[in-house]
Structure 1
């Protein structure tokens, strides 16, 4: 169970970082439009990528022993930078969540937009395939359990984000809420980076 929970918590916190994909899902949730479609696209895409990382990264590492350390330290460096960006945003951002327009959006346009935001984002591959894959490899035969936890964490996050968005509307209409969230994301990223460096 600790291995499963490790995968679940790490996946949840990695995905929690607000980016274009999450902001899009959040807006759709606030508008109550095509929420099931959005949640399904994001969660299934993550499941495919996480599975790819968990099953393939170990094979690559066995054939190229130098790959693991490079990915571990590279991932730690990325998390340190990403955390710094989040902290900077927490200190300087004045953005608030706005829901633009009242016309109901076409489901096909929503799907294409979300697929592009998901599969054309290089950070997605670093988070799911490389970072989660490299961490899963450290669990050896239990890496599938870690992967299952990571997949469940992804599903849980997007379900909460999409269907819980309406409850967050008053909160995220204020810039301060985004700054607090950015600070929490930054702290999480730095904690994970420190763990990677210490365990490495």
Structure 2
């Protein structure tokens, strides 16, 4: 039974990791959706200057810009790494050897240049911290599942918020185009 449990836990870890990757792919697509209209913005500036003088369109353009900023904010939150998800887990936590976080300490200069960075412990210490039996392995895997589920859920919420912001932006844009086409609002 322990082998089945271990296999189940590994499959759970893999499934959650794949879901996180899927959210990252969606965020990459949303990145294009958010920034693609900027390429044609220079052609729209003369038309926008005419619209900005009308209060209705000024409000709609402002709402569009605010929606775009929210979408951009949630997009960058979604791709931003979550450093220490274990802080969100209550109770006695195992060492977290599956993820192997904290093996290296980086200084500010390390972000810009590849200085030799040494591990915080040696191989012997790391090997001694590995789980010793099936129960310890299961605890480590369950701990990893909790951490990954937290990351997955955060990415899901941020991706959803980004999509909603884009939908609001799209709705406002369609409304603005419709009003301009129908010459409503003092045009």
Report the TM-score when normalising by structure 1.
0.27
Q: Which has the higher helix share?
A: 1
Q: Which has the larger radius of gyration?
A: 2
Higher relative contact order (CA 8 A, sep 6+): 1
Report the TM-score when normalising by structure 2.
0.28
